[in-house]
Amino acid sequence: MLVLDGKIASAAVKQEILAQTEVILSSGKRAPHLAAILVGTNGASETYVASKVKNCEEVGFMSTLIRLESDVAESVLLEAIASLNNDPTVDGILVQLPLPKQISEQKVIEAIDPLKDVDGFHPSSAGKLVQGLPTFIPATPYGIMLMLEHFDIPTKGKHAVVIGRSNIVGRPMSILLSSNLKRGNCTVTICHSHTPNLKEVCLSADIIVAALGKPEFVKADMVKEGAVIIDVGITRVEDATAKKGFRIKGDVAYAEVSPKASAITPVPGGVGLMTIAGLLKNTLQAYLTTQQ
């Protein structure tokens, strides 16, 4: 069984990005620049955004973090986005989700200039992905594709089962895996909360992408011998014995599933790190398409 180690794969991607940044800087140009907006103080969002900023530094990018109070008016957030859209020194913009109730996530997503939409959530980016046109690919599915490439996991002709149909992971993942790409050409089934025979569908999968956000949902009796298991779950589960008071759990029961798998991503240390690699790739792409 091969552990699909996100530390190894993301380090390789980041090394390539750093090399490209160095070429840019040595030619006297400014570095790529990511601006992140964090609304409120959600613990998980704080951690993710801090990690995104830190990773920007590691590959030589500039980053700006804009923090807004949790009770901020939607109009204030939209103005902050407009100002970043109009700032020629900002290449990529991301607004960390989820957002507080008074703010429409859809309005916010649509307010971001598609040329700076490094999360790939704008309907224009999503539409291009569906049509196989060049665009920003949402960071998590992009990171998973980079992971499959790094570890040379064959996909052509395989049956991939994606559990979860979110705009952030499940749906774009299903499009990528079914597309005519080097790591695509799968036959894809998307499962969700209304799928009645989920266990049977999963048992026929060569590749399972679990992205439903339910800790340890995928059990050994749902997995075919030799399947490739991609675990997107990162739920914080309370645990008084843990230092921080919680543990991060994936959507896959790793201990019982891993002996059956031919390859599996750990949680933490798997897909989460690749998400950041995908975001950095998108930021570099945003820079290169507008600066060169």
Spell 137-157 as b/e; 16+ CB within 10 A means b. Answer: bbbbbbbbbbbbbbbebebee
Q: How far apart are CA 229 and CA 260, in angstroms?
A: 10
Distance of CA 218 to the CA centre of its chain: 20
Given 119, 206, 231, 251, the catalytic residue: 119
Residue 96 near ligand GUN by CB under 6 A: yes
x/- mask, ligand GUN, residues 252-291, rule CB under 6 A, reads -----------------------x----------------
Residues 187, 275: contact at Cβ < 8 Å?
Answer: no
Residue of 14, 52, 116, 281 with catalytic role: 52
Contact with ligand GUN (CB under 6 A): which of 53, 65, 97, 203?
97
Q: Is 128 among the catalytic positions?
A: no
Helices 6-26 and 271-291, packing angle to 10 deg: 20
> Residue 52 catalytic?
yes
- Taking residues 49 to 88 in sequence order and writing x for each that binds ligand GUN by CB under 6 A, - otherwise, the string is ----------------------------------------
Q: Between residues 121 and 287, which has the closer beta carbon with respect to ligand GUN?
A: 121
Residue of 96, 231, 251, 285 with catalytic role: 96
CA distances from 246 to 152, 226, 250 (A): 34, 32, 13
Q: Which residues in 112-171 contact ligand GUN (CB under 6 A)?
A: 119, 139-140, 168
Residues 165-224 that bind ligand GUN (CB under 6 A): 168
Q: Does 251 bind ligand GUN (CB under 6 A)?
A: no
Backbone angles phi, psi at 163, to 5 degrees: -100, 115
Tokens of 156: 């052509």
Q: Which residues contact 146 (CB under 8 A, 6 or more apart)?
A: 9, 13, 274, 277, 278, 281
Residues annotated as catalytic (active site), given as ranges: 52, 96, 119
Using CB under 6 A, list all residues that contact ligand GUN.
94-97, 119, 139-140, 168, 275
